[in-house]
Chain A
Amino acid sequence: MKANKSIIVGLALSVSVAAATAQTKLFSELVGPGSVGSVKAGGALQVPFIIWGGDMATFHANGGLKTKSGTIFQKQGLNLNLTPGDDFVQQVRDYRSGKSAFLRGTFRMMGQASEVIGSDPRTKGVMIMQMTWSAGDHLISREAIKTVTDLKGKTIAVQQGGPHIGMLDDVLKTAQLGWDDITVKFYDALTGPGSPPEAFKDDLSISACFAVTPDMIGLCTDLNSVGTGAEGTVKGAHVLVSTAELSRSIADVYVCRKDFYDANRPLVRKFVAGYLKATEELVDKRAAHDAGTRDQSYINLLNQTVQIYTEEVLPNADEAHGLLLDCTFAGYPGNVSFFEKQGNLHGFEAFQTASLELATSRGYAKQKMGLFPSGLNYKNDDFLKYLNKTEAKQGERFRAEAVLSEIEELSSGGLLDDRTILSFTINFNPNQTDFSAVRYAAEFTRVIEMADKFGNAVVAIRGHSDPSKTLIDLIKAGNAKGTLRRSGTQGNYRYSLNGRALDLNDTSQLVDAIAAGDFDGVENYNPRRTMQAALNLSRNRAGAVKNSVAEYAKAQGITMDLSQIQPQGVGIAEPFIAKPRSMDEAKQNMRVEFRLLRVSAEVTQESDFDF
């Protein structure tokens, strides 16, 4: 804990941010006027890096800030000079002037800069590589905010221009909210004084704030805990959404100037291949380190990272390892998928559309000027004969049985709500014989998009059935057995149980009678069997809906990981109306509920890359 506080203080001193003011400005105004220069020839190439685990692969490939002999990049024939790029606005200035041919940031940050760099053919951006997905950014909310839909009408604190703007956009889309539905308070810093998490501590008008992992730990203790108010935590603060689940929200990338790219394509390919080689080695080293193997070269990299970022920002090697754990590498297969796979909802085209829309709608740009996709030939020997993990497939990311087990346990333990990021429901009609996408296209699309964005969350499809028949059979069984009797006339009935007058409000008397078997053993009316059939029916409803969603996705050309979607039958246990008075009320119980759930890491399958 102490270590983390020192990081936060350290970051406050060192992180300079893109936005000069808290209000949204056109990105061109932030960058200011300047002329386009050509990229300087000869000597070491200047390549920016930022504070992020994905950049540790760059250090690994380069052997430090300057390319060292015997390293991956040196063997690739490269000579690089890595320079700090956390001031993104300055990066863009250097890119425009020709000091560097590269930009380093998140996809959505590139979107913000797209108009500035796109207005000259020489500086138009070619996105040459996706490095990582983030798993270390979090939206933290106060106690009353339970799911993302609760954000409507609330005030959210976020750093202006930084990586969380895109994440907020994704969260709002998930909740089907617009930016107009919330109040945004912008802050200059990502962390430390003048940052959203600091403001969240003192300003009770802020309902939720964005934070990186150390600040999240400071506010809530950990991903699944609620702040108690002790030890600097904020009472009731908890992680509402994290990129640990919203795993396809923040893509870290490199962009290259079009003129440089066109003139130096083989060099660019060598750079990308070298970086991907480094990620292959690093995921193995990271896993070995987690497994307790001591590898001096990995320790050296961690120490070197501490040196590069300074101890003020990153106090020690353990923190450097943690920084690396917060990112998921895309690797070679991830890049192929990102740039080339049709129907990839988290691929380049989808991100480009969302980024440009965000940049123009939020006032960073006046017009949409796109970036080019990498255009690299991934079949080239520079990749295929050089890299090892080119064949990796994106298999099922979850162990189905373990997921179901966890859902059932959370459900029976009454803990499901605590893990729910979002939920919505569809109802059925009596004449309906299937769950075709024609009727539910909007809901199914929402499920598919939600599952894609939240790659590490699970979608529970929970079927519910109506309990009327079970209750009716219970009453009929009692009547047939003679244990429960009714006399009098409609509107004025009197009831008796085992010969004694019964007040229907006397819940315990009826519950005890059920337990004692007073409604059991009647051939024609078996409420327990009806109840069991209702449970199975609800499970079948959920399963049928899952199949329809899968078929719908397939028809749209979208590949889904079906292990991420798990049907569950709730039966009559959670009726909307426990005692329906009419068919219309009964129908309200016949429903399927979609729940986006945070699940434990144990139910996911380990893999090197995510794509």
Chain B
Amino acid sequence: MRLKLNQLGAWLGAVSTSLCAVPLGQAQVQVTDSVVVVVDASGSMGAEMAGTGRDRMSVAKDALKQVLDQIPDTTHVGILVFPQGNWVYPLGPRKESMLAGAIDSIQSGGGTPLGDYMKRGADVLLDARRKQFGYGTYRLLVVTDGEAGDARLVEAYTPDIISRGITIDCIGVEMASRHTLATKVHSYRNANDPESLKQAISEVFAEVASVDAGQTGEDAFELIADLPEATASAMLKSLSTSGNQPIGESPSMRSVESPSPNPAPSYSGGTTSSQSTSGAEDDPLVLLCAALCVLGIPGLVIFAIVKGKKK
């Protein structure tokens, strides 16, 4: 049994590591993985980094290049720099020659709207995900010393971004060890620690056969054995419907299951997210489609009435 499980694991791993590894054929929408890097180029990043004789920004740039080197060539990359607010490298296919130049062009100076820019980066990822119907992987890589002028927004947006299924990775430059971005995100690398930068982006296995190589499949199932089917079902639904609405906003339409001419909008006042239970994707396409359906039905009826065939 174990041999079989391991073989399946190897196969699943091969299939799941990169979407582009499998040629998807013609007449088919292509799917890509995306990474958005948010680079802190605030004044504090110009400070000298203790014990290096270099400024934080230079160390951060080298660290970033090293981490990006570990990302597959097919992954789309975007680099957003704050407080300057420009995309030195707009999210898109990776061109090695331009990527390094973009990173080198970053100059430090100014305020630290870290939370705001995490939101902007995440919103671009959510938009990319919407356009790909949810397929692909979406990562936000934050390069910062952690000093934020909007620390409250960082606190609020971080869990919201995570709850949407975006993976947050952080490259910290002399960052406080108890900082939200050091403790609450999926991976943390220290820019000044070569070993930590080498930490590869771990492979994600989608299915159970690959759980803990030393464990048999049956042991893994034991962990969820007590979960009632209905509870499991609801939990899965909650996880898989996190929505593509901008960070900090609630879905504007709770359910797309019964599109009605006057969908009741349900806004909640808070900026933090607790909306992922609703099961609705706030997808403009869905809204547009619902609207078109409503408008289109009388037209179709007229069209159909005009049609006629007798044999």
A residues whose Cβ falls under 8 Å from a Cβ of B: 1, 3-4, 7, 11, 15, 50-53, 86, 134, 136-137, 162-163, 190-191, 212-214, 217, 221-225, 309, 313-314, 318-319, 321-323, 325-327, 396, 398, 400-401, 404-405, 408-409, 412-414, 430-433, 465-472, 474-476, 490, 493, 495, 504-508, 510-512, 514-517, 520-521, 523, 526-537, 539-541, 543-544, 546-547, 550, 561-563, 565-567, 569, 571-573, 575, 577-583, 586, 590
A77 to B163 CA separation, bound complex (whole angstroms): 76
**Contact check: which of A51, A408, A471, A472 meets B236 at CB < 8 Å?**
A471
A576 to B134 CA separation, bound complex (whole angstroms): 21
Report whether A223 and B304 are in contact in the complex, using a CB–CB cutoff of 8 Å. Answer: yes
Report whether A136 and B307 are in contact in the complex, using a CB–CB cutoff of 8 Å. Answer: yes
| Contact residues in B for A572 (Cβ distance below 8 Å) | 236, 239-240
| Contact residues in A for B16 (Cβ distance below 8 Å) | 533, 536-537, 540
Report whether A471 and B184 are in contact in the complex, using a CB–CB cutoff of 8 Å. Answer: no
**Contact check: which of A7, A318, A533, A583 meets B208 at CB < 8 Å?**
A583
Report whether A515 and B238 are in contact in the complex, using a CB–CB cutoff of 8 Å. Answer: yes
B residues whose Cβ falls under 8 Å from a Cβ of A: 1, 4-5, 7-8, 11-12, 15-16, 19, 22-29, 31, 133-138, 159, 162-163, 165, 167, 183-188, 204-211, 217-218, 220-240, 242, 256-257, 259, 273-277, 281, 283, 285-286, 289, 300-301, 303-311
Report whether A412 and B223 are in contact in the complex, using a CB–CB cutoff of 8 Å. Answer: no
| Contact residues in A for B28 (Cβ distance below 8 Å) | 400, 404, 543, 546, 562, 566-567
Report whether A533 and B204 are in contact in the complex, using a CB–CB cutoff of 8 Å. Answer: yes
Q: Which A-B residue pairs are the 8 nearest by beta carbons?
A: A136-B309, A222-B304, A579-B232, A322-B307, A430-B8, A563-B27, A468-B208, A534-B206
Report whether A529 and B186 are in contact in the complex, using a CB–CB cutoff of 8 Å. Answer: yes
A314 to B309 CA separation, bound complex (whole angstroms): 9
A137 to B311 CA separation, bound complex (whole angstroms): 10
A217 to B240 CA separation, bound complex (whole angstroms): 40
Report whether B224 and A530 are in contact in the complex, using a CB–CB cutoff of 8 Å. Answer: no
Report whether A412 and B281 are in contact in the complex, using a CB–CB cutoff of 8 Å. Answer: yes
Could you list 11 A-B pairs, sorted by A, with CB under 8 Å?
A221-B301, A224-B300, A326-B307, A405-B133, A414-B257, A506-B231, A529-B137, A529-B167, A537-B12, A543-B22, A575-B233
**Contact check: which of A432, A536, A541 meets B137 at CB < 8 Å?**
A536
Report whether B229 and A578 are in contact in the complex, using a CB–CB cutoff of 8 Å. Answer: yes
Known: A408-B133, A533-B16, A547-B25. A472 touches B211 (CB 8 A): yes
Report whether A532 and B224 are in contact in the complex, using a CB–CB cutoff of 8 Å. Answer: no
| Contact residues in A for B309 (Cβ distance below 8 Å) | 52-53, 134, 136-137, 212-214, 322-323, 326-327
A470 to B233 CA separation, bound complex (whole angstroms): 12
A62 to B250 CA separation, bound complex (whole angstroms): 66
Closest Cβ neighbor of B280 among chain A residues: A412
Known: A514-B235, A526-B167, A567-B24. A430 touches B311 (CB 8 A): no
| Contact residues in A for B12 (Cβ distance below 8 Å) | 537
**Contact check: which of B206, B235, B257, B310 meets A413 at CB < 8 Å?**
B257
A472 to B210 CA separation, bound complex (whole angstroms): 12
A414-B257, A539-B31 given; name 4 further pairs at CB < 8 Å: A1-B305, A404-B28, A433-B11, A578-B229
Report whether B220 and A468 are in contact in the complex, using a CB–CB cutoff of 8 Å. Answer: yes
Report whether A470 and B301 are in contact in the complex, using a CB–CB cutoff of 8 Å. Answer: no
| Contact residues in B for A550 (Cβ distance below 8 Å) | 25
Report whether B186 and A521 are in contact in the complex, using a CB–CB cutoff of 8 Å. Answer: yes
Give the residue among A53, A224, A225, A532 with the most B Cβ atoms within 10 A.
A532
Q: Within the complex, what minimum Cβ distance (angstroms) separates A479 from chain B?
A: 9
Known: A514-B235, A571-B240. A543 touches B25 (CB 8 A): yes
Report whether A322 and B276 are in contact in the complex, using a CB–CB cutoff of 8 Å. Answer: no
Report whether B236 and A578 are in contact in the complex, using a CB–CB cutoff of 8 Å. Answer: yes
Q: Within the complex, what minimum Cβ distance (angstroms) separates A363 from chain B?
A: 22
Report whether A431 and B27 are in contact in the complex, using a CB–CB cutoff of 8 Å. Answer: no
Report whether A532 and B277 are in contact in the complex, using a CB–CB cutoff of 8 Å. Answer: no
Closest Cβ neighbor of B6 among chain A residues: A430
| Contact residues in B for A527 (Cβ distance below 8 Å) | 239
A326 to B304 CA separation, bound complex (whole angstroms): 10
Report whether B225 and A322 are in contact in the complex, using a CB–CB cutoff of 8 Å. Answer: no
Report whether A583 and B311 are in contact in the complex, using a CB–CB cutoff of 8 Å. Answer: no
Q: Within the complex, what minimum Cβ distance (angstroms) separates B118 from chain A?
A: 14
Report whether B240 and A213 are in contact in the complex, using a CB–CB cutoff of 8 Å. Answer: no
Report whether B206 and A469 are in contact in the complex, using a CB–CB cutoff of 8 Å. Answer: yes
**Contact check: which of B7, B8, B23, B133 meets A404 at CB < 8 Å?**
B133
Report whether B239 and A531 are in contact in the complex, using a CB–CB cutoff of 8 Å. Answer: yes
| Contact residues in A for B138 (Cβ distance below 8 Å) | 532
A534 to B78 CA separation, bound complex (whole angstroms): 25
| Contact residues in A for B188 (Cβ distance below 8 Å) | 523
Closest Cβ neighbor of A524 among chain B residues: B202
Closest Cβ neighbor of B187 among chain A residues: A523
| Contact residues in A for B238 (Cβ distance below 8 Å) | 511, 514-515
Report whether A515 and B275 are in contact in the complex, using a CB–CB cutoff of 8 Å. Answer: yes
Q: Within the complex, what minimum Cβ distance (angstroms) separates A471 from chain B?
A: 5
A504 to B235 CA separation, bound complex (whole angstroms): 11
A510 to B227 CA separation, bound complex (whole angstroms): 11
| Contact residues in A for B218 (Cβ distance below 8 Å) | 582-583
A581 to B188 CA separation, bound complex (whole angstroms): 35
Report whether B186 and A222 are in contact in the complex, using a CB–CB cutoff of 8 Å. Answer: no
Q: Within the complex, what minimum Cβ distance (angstroms) separates B266 from chain A?
A: 15
Report whether A528 and B306 are in contact in the complex, using a CB–CB cutoff of 8 Å. Answer: no
Report whether A318 and B306 are in contact in the complex, using a CB–CB cutoff of 8 Å. Answer: yes
Report whether B240 and A507 are in contact in the complex, using a CB–CB cutoff of 8 Å. Answer: no
Q: Within the complex, what minimum Cβ distance (angstroms) separates B110 from chain A?
A: 29
A565 to B26 CA separation, bound complex (whole angstroms): 10
Q: Within the complex, what minimum Cβ distance (angstroms) separates B130 from chain A?
A: 10
Report whether A319 and B239 are in contact in the complex, using a CB–CB cutoff of 8 Å. Answer: no
Known: A536-B137, A539-B31. A431 touches B7 (CB 8 A): yes
| Contact residues in B for A567 (Cβ distance below 8 Å) | 24, 28
Give the residue among B8, B165, B304, B308 with the most A Cβ atoms within 10 A.
B308
| Contact residues in B for A222 (Cβ distance below 8 Å) | 300-301, 303-305
A236 to B114 CA separation, bound complex (whole angstroms): 57
Q: Within the complex, what minimum Cβ distance (angstroms) separates A62 from chain B?
A: 20
Q: Within the complex, what minimum Cβ distance (angstroms) separates A529 from chain B?
A: 5
| Contact residues in B for A412 (Cβ distance below 8 Å) | 256, 281, 283, 286
Report whether B256 and A475 are in contact in the complex, using a CB–CB cutoff of 8 Å. Answer: no
Report whether B221 and A580 are in contact in the complex, using a CB–CB cutoff of 8 Å. Answer: yes
Q: Within the complex, what minimum Cβ distance (angstroms) separates A555 from chain B?
A: 15
**Contact check: which of B8, B25, B230, B239 meets A470 at CB < 8 Å?**
B239
Report whether A526 and B186 are in contact in the complex, using a CB–CB cutoff of 8 Å. Answer: yes
Report whether B221 and A581 are in contact in the complex, using a CB–CB cutoff of 8 Å. Answer: yes
| Contact residues in B for A495 (Cβ distance below 8 Å) | 226
| Contact residues in B for A468 (Cβ distance below 8 Å) | 207-208, 220-221, 224
A535 to B134 CA separation, bound complex (whole angstroms): 8
Report whether A583 and B217 are in contact in the complex, using a CB–CB cutoff of 8 Å. Answer: yes
Report whether B24 and A543 are in contact in the complex, using a CB–CB cutoff of 8 Å. Answer: yes
Report whether A432 and B11 are in contact in the complex, using a CB–CB cutoff of 8 Å. Answer: yes
A471 to B220 CA separation, bound complex (whole angstroms): 10
**Contact check: which of B22, B162, B208, B240 meets A520 at CB < 8 Å?**
B162
| Contact residues in A for B240 (Cβ distance below 8 Å) | 531, 535, 571-573
Report whether A4 and B305 are in contact in the complex, using a CB–CB cutoff of 8 Å. Answer: yes
Q: Within the complex, what minimum Cβ distance (angstroms) separates A491 from chain B?
A: 9
Q: Within the complex, what minimum Cβ distance (angstroms) separates B171 from chain A?
A: 15
Closest Cβ neighbor of A11 among chain B residues: B310
| Contact residues in B for A590 (Cβ distance below 8 Å) | 207
| Contact residues in B for A400 (Cβ distance below 8 Å) | 27-29
Report whether A573 and B236 are in contact in the complex, using a CB–CB cutoff of 8 Å. Answer: yes
Report whether B208 and A469 are in contact in the complex, using a CB–CB cutoff of 8 Å. Answer: yes
